[in-house]
Structure 1
Amino acid sequence: MKYQIIDSSKSEQIAMLAVCLTNEISERMGTKYFNVDIPLAIDLCKNYMSNGIYQVMAAFDAEQIVGFASVCQSYSLYAEGQFGIIQEFYVVPEYRSKGVGQELLQSVLKLAKQQGWKRLELSTPPLPQYKSTVEFYKSNGFEVTGGHKMKHVIT
């Protein structure tokens, strides 16, 4: 298994894995939380990666991407400066519970340190359906900070 930052030439693969992630969440929750426009997702992914505002750490089995974490930089007073946000984190089902996610996350934590970020944040899908996801992050040094992920669509 190999873990590395990838360039925008792999953006279509990453966008499709992100669609798998959003579909899996919607299926497990029994409601459609996301309405992903696939061509737009591919274009956005390529654009963000090309412009350096969205970095993707990928897990490879030979030449196949079997997992990824997308991260971006943000700023806040409460974090006392710049920090990273894991926007998406996904490992294909047949590679779960085999250490791929843990190694992928450790690679992202190393990247965060290299970037000089003060912290790394993420949101998880709702409990109780994703209790094991929360436990995974906690076992890798993350702590629950409370609250819920919320959105307001701007039209």
Structure 2
Amino acid sequence: DGAQPEPLGFLALYESYALYAEGSFGTIPELFVRPAYRSSGVGATLISEAQGVGQARGWSRIEVTTPPLPQFDRTLAFYQQQGFSISGGRKLKIDL
């Protein structure tokens, strides 16, 4: 029928630089998996691919931030299952 398959999910990955990271590192500002495909390995595959990109680019780490709200407890647990650890710090913003 010529219909294009829809993606199961996506991950945005950016390269950043900071003194505390001693050079370049990755940041994941967005990871989304369609609800029907959650807990099926799609998110883990996306994280694994991001790690491969980071290793190829010589990054020291990949960082991700989740809001400190109860509705994100499952998200936090997912990232910890993928090997992420809580590194502290505070996220701040300024509205423009």
TM-score tier (shorter)? 0.7 to 0.9
What code does the residue aligned with 2:50 have? V
Alignment of 1:6-155 (within 5 A): 63-154=5-96
C-alpha distance in structure 1 between counterparts of 2:59 and 2:5, whole Å: 30
Q: Give the TM-score normalised by structure 2.
A: 0.88
Q: Which has the higher helix share?
A: 1
Gaps of 5+ in 1: 1-61
What code does the residue aligned with 1:141 have? G
Query: What's the CA shift for 1:150?
Result: 2.4
Higher relative contact order (CA 8 A, sep 6+): 2
Q: What fraction of aligned residue pairs are identical, expressed as a percent?
A: 44
C-alpha distance in structure 2 between counterparts of 1:114 and 1:63, whole Å: 29
Query: May I ask how many residue pairs the two structures share in their alignment?
Result: 93
